[in-house]
């Protein structure tokens, strides 16, 4: 089973995160930030990765530390569960429509982290959450999961739709990238022999 658990404790946050890559999209998420919970639930459901994540953070200050640190912990869990990345398809992409919004996500599970984020919002907040924090989450997740990740909203107006299409796009692209290719089940998908 490709699964892992991470515990991250700092002066700002206390987080436990567990993933089962070959799951069915079951989730149990509590971050104290309702909208972030909703997005992580979308990530689980559409990637078919089972996710359990509990976070306690300094929400009395703002949502930044909790948002970033959940990306770090979840990314670390995914990287640990992938191990040497033998047999994975490695690449994944998705084109996600959500009403008036269309978002494209492409990723390489290369273990060379990089984020391209071409997503603009017409609002500074979604509920109580600063929209600028979504880039922070994607940056932390890509860095710690070892993903080259490109996220681009081609068009859209509604901020909720834009963010949700980004998370669903990540989910579908990640699902493709981490699937085991039966033709190379024991091999690392690289001419280098390692990722």
Residue 93 pLDDT > 90: yes
CATH of the domain at 168: 3.30.230.40
Q: Confirm whether 122 is domain-assigned.
A: yes
Taking the C-alpha atoms of residue 12 and residue 182, their distance in angstroms, rounded to an integer, is 43
Backbone angles phi, psi at 118, to 5 degrees: -115, 75
Domain that holds residue 44: 3-184
Taking the C-alpha atoms of residue 139 and residue 131, their distance in angstroms, rounded to an integer, is 14
Q: Confirm whether 193 is domain-assigned.
A: no
In tens, the pLDDT along 170-195 reads 999 999 999 999 999 889 999 888 99
Taking the C-alpha atoms of residue 17 and residue 35, their distance in angstroms, rounded to an integer, is 18
- Does the pTM surpass 0.95? The reply is yes
Q: Confirm whether 189 is domain-assigned.
A: no
């Amino acid at each position: 089973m490709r699964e892992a658990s991470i515990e991250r404790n700092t002066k700002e946050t206390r987080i436990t995160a567990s993933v089962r890559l070959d799951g069915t999209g079951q989730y149990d998420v509590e971050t104290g930030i309702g909208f972030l919970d909703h997005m992580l639930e979308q990530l689980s459901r559409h990637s078919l990765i089972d996710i359990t994540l509990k976070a306690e953070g300094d929400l009395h200050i703002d949502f930044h530390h909790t948002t970033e640190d959940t990306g770090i912990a979840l990314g670390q869990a995914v990287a640990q569960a992938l191990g040497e990345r033998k047999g994975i398809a490695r690449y994944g992409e998705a084109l996600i429509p959500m009403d008036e919004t269309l978002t494209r996500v492409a990723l390489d599970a290369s273990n060379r982290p990089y984020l391209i984020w071409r997503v603009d919002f017409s609002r500074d907040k979604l509920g109580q959450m600063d929209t600028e924090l979504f880039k922070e989450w994607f940056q932390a997740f890509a860095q710690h999961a070892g993903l080259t990740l490109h996220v681009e909203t081609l068009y859209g107006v509604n901020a909720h739709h834009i963010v949700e299409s980004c998370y669903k796009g990540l989910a579908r692209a990640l699902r493709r990238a981490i699937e085991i290719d039966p033709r190379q089940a024991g091999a690392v998908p690289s001419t280098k022999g390692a990722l």
